[in-house]
Structure 1
């Protein structure tokens, strides 16, 4: 028995099949257009990623170079072209961006180098100041005034009712409590005398003695002193009419007192 022949499609069925095929073709064309658009958008993004990767490599290279310079060695330079190749991006735009970043880094590094030059000069000034501060202090004077204020009252050899014969020293009319200083290096001792009151005697290396009389009090009663050391304070003790310092110079061996003014002048001091 022969098989039955398949029925032939009607015209209506042929029109429906044609419409379905047309729709499928349009859908395929739309998908192809979408893929093309996506590829066009993605390609610039890949290029941008390449530029960013090249810039990142350049910045990292600069940081490595600065650390190596601080450690005393120079690392191998990373080139802009190599950074673009490693990033897998288009070479032209990535290399240009990397070169611009590297040039900017070199300019910044040069500016920092220029800024360090004045710093070395300022450090030199600081060293000079330190050397000035380390200089030795001035030497102590070998001869000093007995009081800071110049000016004399009664002078050596003056006559008057206050002395049995003549005035045996020079008087400094200063206020009570004024500091009295050693006129030179030596050793001192203190004592009381009815005429001189509280007194300090400074004995010099050659035996010459300096007498400080009519004192109020002592700062140093005995021992070694240097020129300019404060040893006592001015008063009006003993045979005195008011606060002042009576100062005498007596030669070695207990001789008669001599005029202290020439002694001061000989040593470059003028108490007048």
Structure 2
């Protein structure tokens, strides 16, 4: 069953007096099924993050439509967006920048529960503790601040926060690009394990085709705001048809099966 359907999406930005609008995204179609991971891949400026932001309501939709769970959310009002945040969450590239340095990890993870769940303080602490354990951290970490953690640990915390209310869709926008290869592998495996456990869909955005290949069942290739090619991960890698996709595949490193099987 389709969870997210993007049809003819356009996102444009004004560039000033007598200059034409900039088409950041121009007529993009994609869909994500329940429990599926779709990869958006392209170089910087291809529009992939803009698509993710449009889905999340962080970028204006100039044309086309975005349907989530059967409902058009292209022009969702602030109140509707607050309700949607229970079902849509995001993991950004910079975990430190997305975590409030003045709040403990426990406070950060409890916030989505405070907004979307009517739980007692005891039940909230129990949920926070359970989620910290799921992402490979300790219950005592709830009392610590973001600065006390490594980059990989902070990204685990960002994943935990996104999953606290068990959303239907998680947008991962370059979620591992700031991490070293070993830590990337750990976080990617964590996402896969949690997806298997919770059943959420993932829109996985990255410039790294090898990472997208590992995470996604289908891939959409973008260039300058337009779709160049789409298909299953196997087909995109085995027989890319568009010259741009062929260049991306040729430039992608071949993973060492012993070093990059994404073992935790």
Is the shorter-chain TM-score for this pair beyond 0.5, marking a shared fold? no
- Of structures 1 and 2, the one scoring higher in RCO (CA 8 A, sep 6+) is 2
Relative to its length, the structure with more strand (as a share) is: 2
Higher radius of gyration, 1 or 2: 1
Relative to its length, the structure with more helix (as a share) is: 1
